[in-house]
Structure 1
Amino acid sequence: MLVFVINQNKKPLMPCKPSKARKLLQAGKAKVVRNTPFTIKLLFRSSGYTQPVTAGMDTGSKVVGCAAIANGKVLYQSEIYLRENVSKKMEQRKMYRRTRRSRKTRYRPARFDNRGNSKKEGRLAPSIRSKLEAHFREKRFVESLLPVTEWKVELASFDIHKITNPEVSGIGYQEGDLKGFYNIKAYVLDRDGYTCQHCRGKSKDSRLHCHHIVFRSQKGTDAPENLITLCETCHKALH
């Protein structure tokens, strides 16, 4: 465990051991400025000596990993879970706005093209902008704790199709498992032989559904591996 240190001008210095920080606090030469992570501010002039610190960030759409090292020792590490509810919050705001306007402005003219900001060149969707700003926010936070001299960011892109099928190339990228099917539901029904995978057709119910094994509300995907064929009777029993 280390204690982060900043000087009188709020510039980050190298972290120190808790015992040294305790002595500085008891002597009145430092004060606590942050509890998590524990950070102290020096109340006297210091030399400002620092060592090279390398920070790294593993970008992601759901979780961001960040760490900083110096002389082979880890000084800082964190995981940031990005917001997944931005779109839902905006839909909720849209609903409240419409309800309020219909309630308070009975004779208000219809307005449907008054969102000039959404047409700006280079604009990012709010959900994407939120994730991007979270990366920069973590970068600024690390730089406020440590004298970072170098950043290394992982921007690797993965060929998911090639991971599942190493021999794929060229036109093969357009010829996946769903080739020849109208949609994912048609593929899943054909894969399962148009038979309920729970009762195996014992219910004699002819109506079939594509059921999510892991619900969407629990961050399940629409991938075929997460879908299964169920008859309406079994589907209702599960819901």
Structure 2
Amino acid sequence: MQRVFVLDHNKQPLMPCQPARARKLLKKEKAAVYRRYPFTIIMTRRVGGDLQPIEIKFDPGSRTTGIALVGHFDHSKEVIWAGNLNHRGLQIKSNLDSRRAIRRSRRNRKTRYRPARFLNRRRAKGWLPPSLMSRVNNVKNWMFKLSWLAPLTQIAIETVRFDTQKMQKPEISGVEYQQGELAGYELREYLLEKWGRQCAYCGAKNVPLEIEHIQARSKGGTDRASNLTLACTECNQEKGNKDIKEFLKRKPKRLKKIQARAKAPLKDAAAVNATRYATGNVLKDFGLPTTFSSGGRTKFNRIKLGYKKEHWIDAACVGESGSEVFIPQTITPLIITASGRGSRQMCRIDQYGFPRTGPKKHKRVKGFQTGDIVKAVVTKGKKIGTYIGRVAVRANGSFDIGSGEERVSSISYKYCQLIQRADGYEYSFFS
């Protein structure tokens, strides 16, 4: 289990404690629950205490960012809290595409529309599309949350997951860690992501994969990333130095797919590379000592220590301290999913872009809003029981409460007690 965040009586962060100690403090009424996710207690009387260095580490990704808090204790460097932060960049991109299509459709039909605005906007220096900026803001928000809950002393972040220049021109000189033992880690990780961790020729998964030249070097092929793919041992040996068109002449669909994917850039890698400097800059603004590292070094540390591949584990292995970090077997990461804080859309529309519902009235109903975590104790009727989960409000005061697939409907607001306000994220311990 993860450690529990602790605040003193003046809401200043103390060292996170073991769950067993937190239970004792709560039972003796020396502390009270302050926040449910991430679980935090506040001391009723105590002020101040002894602190030890805590390093926060980030492994930024296109879809998921790993977060780990590493305590620098006298005996070891140990992970005391971890989380996987799931981004909503793809959802934002989809919503913007849908809105743009609907507006263009209205203009073409000369119906209700907003005038086009294409040339009257200036982009600030360092501008990023909303789908990418949301990733940066998520990391910034969680850095702020955790700096308020724990006495952080330093930051480590992986800023270069894929060194595309090194992969396109392997002969160029790079920094020291890209030489010697670390050579090839960046390229192999890139290919694993690009080709879906499966053989490009037969689709085999969960088997040892080898780097394969699409056009053999003996036939003029290069070591550029666009000429490399992944293949299982059998396919690699069978293909040899054959031309790919000859090798896959009986599989035209697979041949076409490989040729298209080989030339296409990896979108996730592009998203990470586009946001790495913005993410690093927002973290440096917190004023803590900040170190930057490469994805190749992260993978090298993880494999050397024998840890499995997960985002939060990668975060723990970032940087110099990641070469000797200890991860307890009992630790379970908090799954954090960015869900947004509601929609700016005034009313729902049909497939043609016309309104099909009335405009929204109030976001908060009877003191609750959609996304709040509540506890409902129903004492009468057909739904007697206790329910804990996120609430979906209705104007008539009859709410839905649920967590995941389990959901109960038509619970009166009179039975609901607020546990935690909606903050734009959903939480769980299971992915």
Q: Same fold (TM over 0.5)?
A: yes
User: Partner residue of 1:95?
Assistant: 101
Q: Which runs of 5+ in 1 are unaligned?
A: 180-189, 201-207, 214-220, 227-239
User: Residue 144 and residue 97 in structure 1: after superposition, are their counterparts in 2 closer, same or farther (change >3 A)?
Assistant: farther
- Aligned pair 1:223/2:261, yes or no? yes
- Aligned pair 1:121/2:124, yes or no? yes
Q: For residues 178 and 46 of structure 1, what CA distance do their matches in structure 2 show?
A: 59
User: Given residue 113 of structure 1, which amino acid in structure 2 is its aligned partner?
Assistant: R
The alpha-carbon deviation at position 176 of structure 1 amounts to: 5.2
> Who wins on radius of gyration, i.e. which is larger?
1
User: Given residue 224 of structure 1, which amino acid in structure 2 is its aligned partner?
Assistant: A
Q: For residues 51 and 119 of structure 2, what CA distance do their matches in structure 1 show?
A: 49
The alpha-carbon deviation at position 161 of structure 1 amounts to: 6.2
User: Given residue 124 of structure 1, which amino acid in structure 2 is its aligned partner?
Assistant: L
User: Residue 46 and residue 100 in structure 1: after superposition, are their counterparts in 2 closer, same or farther (change >3 A)?
Assistant: farther
Matches of residues 10-159 of structure 1 in structure 2 within 5 Å?
A: 10-70=11-71, 71=73, 72-83=77-88, 84-98=90-104, 106=111, 111-113=115-117, 116-117=120-121, 119-122=122-125, 123-156=127-160, 158-159=162-163
User: Residue 177 and residue 28 in structure 1: after superposition, are their counterparts in 2 closer, same or farther (change >3 A)?
Assistant: closer
The alpha-carbon deviation at position 20 of structure 1 amounts to: 2.1
Q: What is the TM-score of this pair, normalised by structure 2?
A: 0.38
User: Given residue 61 of structure 1, which amino acid in structure 2 is its aligned partner?
Assistant: S
Q: What is the TM-score of this pair, normalised by structure 1?
A: 0.64
Q: Comparing 16-25 with 94-103, which one deviates more in the overlay?
A: 94-103
The alpha-carbon deviation at position 115 of structure 1 amounts to: 6.6
Q: For residues 99 and 24 of structure 1, what CA distance do their matches in structure 2 show?
A: 61
More relative contact order, 1 or 2 (CA 8 Å, 6+ apart): 2
Q: For residues 142 and 64 of structure 2, what CA distance do their matches in structure 1 show?
A: 12
Q: For residues 166 and 31 of structure 2, what CA distance do their matches in structure 1 show?
A: 56
RMSD: 3.8
User: Partner residue of 1:192?
Assistant: 245
CA contact (8 A) 2:248 2:254 kept: no
Q: Which runs of 5+ in 2 are unaligned?
A: 174-221, 228-242, 265-431
User: Residue 175 and residue 13 in structure 1: after superposition, are their counterparts in 2 closer, same or farther (change >3 A)?
Assistant: closer
User: Partner residue of 1:4?
Assistant: 5
Give the total of aligned pairs. 194
The alpha-carbon deviation at position 27 of structure 1 amounts to: 2.2
Matches of residues 205-220 of structure 1 in structure 2 within 5 Å?
A: 211-212=256-257
CA contact (8 A) 2:5 2:14 kept: yes
The alpha-carbon deviation at position 60 of structure 1 amounts to: 2.6
SS state of the match for residue 51, structure 2? coil
